[in-house]
Amino acid sequence: MSDAMGKWPATIPGAARAAAEQWPDAPGLIVGQRTWTFAEVWADARAAASAMLASGVGHGDRVAIWAPNSREWMLAALGAQIVGAAIVPLNTRFKGAEADDILRRSRVKLLFAPADFLNQDYATLIAGEALPDLRETVHIDTAWEAFVARGSGADDAAVAAAFARLSPDDIADIIFTSGTTGRPKGALTAHRQVTQTFGDWATRVDLRAGDRYLIVNPFFHTFGYKAGWAACLLRGATIVPMPTFDVAQMVRQIEENRITFIPGPPTIYQMLLQELAGDKPRDFSSLRVAVTGAAPVPPALVERMRRELGMSNIVNGYGMTECGAIAMTRQGDDAHTVANTCGYPLPGIAVRCVDDAGNDQPAGTPGELLVRGHAVMRGYLDDPQATAEAIDADGWLHTGDIGTIDAHGYLAITDRKKDLFISGGFNVYPAEVEKLLTANPVIGVVAVVGVPDERMGEVGKAFVVLRPGTHATEPELATWAKANMANYKVPRRFVIVDDLPRNAAGKVLKTELRD
């Protein structure tokens, strides 16, 4: 079972230009009561690129965006990419130390961050940090127009020259993913990889020209950026971004903007079903496609989405930062297939299932999933050792995920070889959380495990051994954690213990802690 690889623009800005040429007057972006056509989006992106050049940003530089979903986020990304810079998206839940580490190692020259998001000026979180490469922080919510005014506008000849220099093999983005070593690693992805992978992804999930795509997933994540607005540019679908998730706002968007396409975790669709069963009449008749992933989907939910929400196409999939999209189910797959598999590989992507010795497993037998093809990242930023550990000499990316491949080529994830858990759709690596927690002066030793949670899928539980002569309560530990790490990483439960179970070699037995 296979599909043919599609022919797509070679760069992400190239997709924006192609959309402007193919659908110039079609609505490309809707924010509030304002609509921009694809031609206007492309003109605004070029104006942003001119301002990038005026600000000293050019080919090979890095521009970070630490902000919620917005028109300005997308234009900052396109403007930077037009002139050959790579973007470094930052999770809006990051605290100062987490952002500082990524900004420093990426050698970011220009940072876009809000002056006020959730009552926080993000620039103050990194004030006083040693960031020798960072020239400036631009308040993306209050100073965007002033930033754009630095340039010479959409018709700046210097922009055309910079764009002409852009290569499909230039790095488009550096997205940091945590790891079992406790130190986030920056995955390098080139433009051609993004447009090929997510153009084919959009075909598989049936994203069409004229669709209205409500982007609930954050732009700092592959799901909101590459499978979000970039896919819309490739297919001619209208981009409707949501800055933060809010059920009432989601309902309003669906009804007022006639949304057809919504990706997200299963909880989103459960909330829509609850709204439908409420006292107030709801019109969800425009909904056509649901794309889910990152959490199990009960077959009964798939059936209810089709029957009650009228979503004729419900697909599930599998991807990771290091390889974008890997596999998706297809239109017409039954509820059991959508609920229990991640689909089959996208065009040009090969997947193997191997045992610990690297031997291919028979159909249906669990093993580690290895992936090879055009979508696999170029490597980790400034970390050849980690790159070599992740991608072997034959080009196979070792995902660390344990799964099966059935006789029809469909994948299913059964376990995770790497010590991580998924909370609310975000990968949480216990080693990273443990490293952050040990900065607390009262914590001597800590072990974090993932435990089941009805709403989030899994949440962290931390077992803490206090340092001699210190005292702390579980609420105090939780308060400290909330102030020093992204919320999704914060363990939901702290347990203070005298010691941790260990094997003969001194390794903490996390299986016993989970039990």
Assigned domain for 396 exists: yes
Residue type, 71: R
Assigned domain for 407 exists: no
Assigned domain for 6 exists: no
Average pLDDT over every residue of 31-36:
97
pLDDT of residue 296: 63
Same domain (yes/no): 449, 488:
yes
Assigned domain for 4 exists: no
Same domain (yes/no): 270, 390:
yes
pLDDT of residue 503: 63
Same domain (yes/no): 316, 388:
yes
CB 89 within 8 A of CB 73: no
Average pLDDT over every residue of 217-223:
94
Secondary structure of residue 412 in the 3-state scheme: strand
Same domain (yes/no): 388, 478:
no
Same domain (yes/no): 130, 202:
yes
Assigned domain for 300 exists: yes
> Structurally, how many domains does the chain consist of?
2
Same domain (yes/no): 346, 442:
no
Same domain (yes/no): 344, 489:
no
pLDDT of residue 73: 98
Q: Which residues constitute the domain of residue 434? A: 423-514
Same domain (yes/no): 172, 256:
yes
Tell me the CATH number at 463. 3.30.300.30
Q: Does an H or E element contain 176, and which?
A: strand 171-177
Assigned domain for 261 exists: yes
* The pLDDT of residue 92 is above 80: yes
pLDDT of residue 309: 95
Question: Given pLDDT bands bounded at 50, 70 and 90, which one contains residue 507?
Answer: low
Q: Which residue has the higher pLDDT, 260 or 246?
A: 260
Same domain (yes/no): 160, 59:
yes
Question: Given pLDDT bands bounded at 50, 70 and 90, which one contains residue 260?
Answer: very high
Tell me the CATH number at 20. 3.40.50.12780
Assigned domain for 2 exists: no
Assigned domain for 409 exists: no
Share the mean pLDDT of the chain: 93
Same domain (yes/no): 460, 377:
no
* The pLDDT of residue 150 is above 60: yes
Same domain (yes/no): 510, 384:
no
Same domain (yes/no): 161, 244:
yes
Question: Given pLDDT bands bounded at 50, 70 and 90, which one contains residue 437?
Answer: very high
Cα distance between residue 131 and residue 338, in whole Å:
46
Q: Is 179 exposed, middle or buried (0-12, 13-18, 19+ CB in 10 A)?
A: buried
Average pLDDT over every residue of 15-34:
98
**Global pTM value:** 0.86
Question: How do residues 356-410 score in pLDDT, each as one tens digit?
Answer: 899 999 999 999 999 999 999 999 999 999 999 999 999 999 999 989 999 999 9
pLDDT of residue 467: 86
Ranges assigned E (strand) in 339-442: 344-345, 349-354, 367-373, 379-380, 397-405, 411-416, 421-423, 426-428
* The pLDDT of residue 505 is above 60: no
pLDDT of residue 82: 99
